[in-house]
Amino acid sequence: MASPHSVEAMITAEGLGKRYGDKTAVDDVSFTVRPGSVTGFLGPNGAGKSTTMRMIVGLDRPSTGRVTVNGQDYRRLRAPLTEVGVLLDAKAVHTGRSARNHLRAMAATHGIPSSRVDDVIDITGIASVARKRAGKFSLGMGQRLGIAAALLGDPHTLILDEPVNGLDPEGVRWVRQFVRHAASEGRTVLLSSHLMSEMAQTADHVIVLGRGKVLADAALPDLVRSWTTARVRLRSPRAAELSQLLSAGAASTSTVVEVTTSAPDTLDVTGIEASRIGDLAAERGIPLHELTPTTGSLEDAYLALTGEAVEYRTRGVETSDTDNQEPS
């Protein structure tokens, strides 16, 4: 069984749903998490992220649909720790047991040697507290212990629920680099976080859940482009003249151009690219003191997606190979 054949490691959810009594936590969710990239799992509290993750690893039984890891039900895996490393929350450890003994007990189920236990202790930087009882750990140390447990079997797939929660900046950066490296090795990474800036730096692909449904499932740049508006900020001593010019120019084409004057010499323009504005200004000999294109952040996109106005609306986003047209 140790032959180095490649394994198509992915997580596939089909019509996945979970009901607790008459409350629906996850409602007909379908998605695929692919190897070789980091997939971010976003959504407000109670959106169903953790429930979905628990269903992936067989802790909760789906009410409807199914979810598979590498095409198999998690409960059927013959070596779960080597296929999926999971961090559900830092508090999945007996408080009376030392970190090292916790990892030894986990490793023993799969015949993972204690040298590997020491490896993951070193990798996650908990060597100095490994013999202390886990109940005495800080949030960040508990988080590192949870990550260490997830790494024990050197798994193809990593499922990490809020891994940077409680970590110091060094730890946050370590997690980011670690998951990016894991993805570059061809592993599958599913990661949830509330820290949008962190997610923007880590994820390639994003699945946004809201009220138990998938609101968006797209490559991160596409999601941001679709749900935020690209703007150009410009400063010019002849701003008023330029404003008229841009509005007039827009009238002749079908695009919607909006020009807002935020200061006597400053304009915020949407619907027209910076290069085009520069060309227009040059044609008329209008001097420009600043011309800055700005794109929205993941946070802007996320808030737009999950905000009240779009609570129940889903919206398709263009795939990465279509042209970068702005949605109008």
CB of 107 to another protein, least distance (A): 8
Residues between 131 and 150 with contacts to another protein, criterion CB under 8 A:
135, 149
- Using CB under 8 A, which of 75, 181, 284, 289 touches another protein? 75
Exposed / middle / buried, residue 17 (Cβ in 10 Å: 0-12, 13-18, 19+): buried
Residue 11 to residue 75: CA distance in whole angstroms: 14
Residues between 169 and 208 with contacts to another protein, criterion CB under 8 A:
183, 185-188, 200-205
CB of 88 to another protein, least distance (A): 6
- Using CB under 8 A, which of 28, 79, 194, 270 touches another protein? 79
Cα angle, residue 315 at apex, residues 312 and 316 outer, rounded to 5°: 150
Residues between 288 and 327 with contacts to another protein, criterion CB under 8 A:
295, 297-298, 320
CA dihedral over 133, 138, 143, 148, signed as positive or negative: negative
The residue among 91 and 284 lying less far from another protein, judged by its C-beta, is: 91
Residues between 13 and 32 with contacts to another protein, criterion CB under 8 A:
none
Report residue 63 as tokens: 């009410």
The answer to whether the CB of 95 falls within 8 A of the CB of 165 is no
Residues between 230 and 249 with contacts to another protein, criterion CB under 8 A:
none
Q: How many binding residues for another protein (CB under 8 A)?
A: 73
Q: Letter for the amino acid at 288?
A: L
Q: What are phi and psi of 114, to 5 degrees?
A: -70, -20
Residue 127 to residue 122: CA distance in whole angstroms: 6
Binding flags for another protein, 41-60, as an x/- string (CB under 8 A):
-------------x--xxxx
Of 6-14, 164-172, 253-261, 266-274, which segment contacts another protein by CB under 8 A? 6-14
